[in-house]
Amino acid sequence: MKKIRAAVVGVGYLGRFHAQKYARLPGCELVGIVDVDGATASTVAHELDTEPFQDYRELLGRVDAVSIVTPTPTHCEIGLAFLKAGAHVLVEKPIADSVAQAERLVRAARRQRRVLQVGHLERFNPVILAAEPLLTAPRFIECQRLAPFRERGTDVDVVLDLMIHDIDLLQMIVGGAVVSMDAIGTPVFSTEIDIANARLRFAGGCVANVTASRVSLKTERKLRVFCDDAYLSIDLQQKILTVIRKKATSKASAPLDLSSLGPAAIAAAQLPVHIEEQSFEQGDALLAEIESFLAAVRGEGRVLVSGQDGLRALTTAIAITERVRGAEPRRAAKAGRRA
């Protein structure tokens, strides 16, 4: 099997991990890495035995696939250049700085018949993969994504930085379009929105309450999904899936023998529900994401997080941000209808 020639543009904190994954995969050759900081590029290239570059244009036409892990405002320019040069593109989230830019990327990938995958990493979280078959006909979903304050990432607001992960998961789970929303938020330690809450109503009636904060004292990433016959608690950080269902009732059922049980076990046995809890290994979601991307490049699998998915998440995220800032999201809503 011919090796896929790959590169990574932007090898800061996250991009360095991308480069490490490509370098270790047997069906892939890491042709080079790019960073505007020459010292960073040289250091990472030396670590991974590849070639450093400071200008991504030097790699156009020389690679089959590329990860773009640069600041969001540069995604469109770099992504378009590689797509037009015939490369498949994995771009970190958010897909672009604006809906118009995201639409240009989606159109270019379609025109060039190239893979465009967006780095919504939670899709590859093992607990989400396990829960996905159970997430049918949700009625209400609650999402909480909390993190302590860090300077890194504060060039964008918390909706585009953190909440967009849950927006993507919600739109995957529910499937329908967002038909109405309400949102509130505020800056706390930065000049951008640092904490936000949105209430989204989807076509079909499902309602989601989403909170994202980067000014919390703890780290938490949880989803709670309520269906007509079950409640799912999904701990994305600890990788724990809890499914609570109503117990089947039967008039012929024999009374429970509780004589040998302790107080806690007796209380649990008397509840009219059945509780199942599963824990999963931490795994390597980034490796799974890149392997999925390369499989799609080879034509061996579908694109799990397409450019269209990234556009949809960005459209909703921008609408929430505009609602928080008190502006009607006319541009985002209009773009969403065209997509």
Q: Are 310 and 101 in contact (CB under 8 A)?
A: no
First to last CA, the chain: 37
Closest listed residue to residue 195, CA positions, set 210, 181, 215, 209? 215
Give CA–CA dist 109/72, Å, rounded: 18
- Would you tell me how many other CB atoms lie within 10 Å of the CB of residue 54? 13
**Digitized pLDDT (tens) for each residue of the chain, 339 residues in all:** 689 999 999 999 999 999 999 999 999 999 999 999 999 999 999 999 999 999 999 999 999 999 999 999 999 999 999 999 999 999 999 999 999 999 999 999 999 999 999 999 999 999 999 999 999 889 999 999 999 998 776 678 999 999 999 999 999 999 989 999 999 999 999 889 999 999 999 999 999 999 999 999 999 999 999 998 889 999 999 999 999 988 776 555 556 565 665 665 555 566 677 889 999 999 999 999 999 999 999 999 999 999 999 999 999 999 999 999 984 444 444 444 433
Contact 46, 30 (CB under 8 A): no
Q: What is the dihedral of CA 102, 106, 112, 117, to 10 degrees?
A: 90
Nearest CA among 96, 100, 172 for reference residue 132: 172
Sheet holding 51-53, edge to edge: 51-53, 28-34, 4-9, 65-68, 88-92, 116-119
Q: ∠ CA 35-284-307 to the nearest 5 degrees? A: 60
pTM for the full predicted model: 0.88
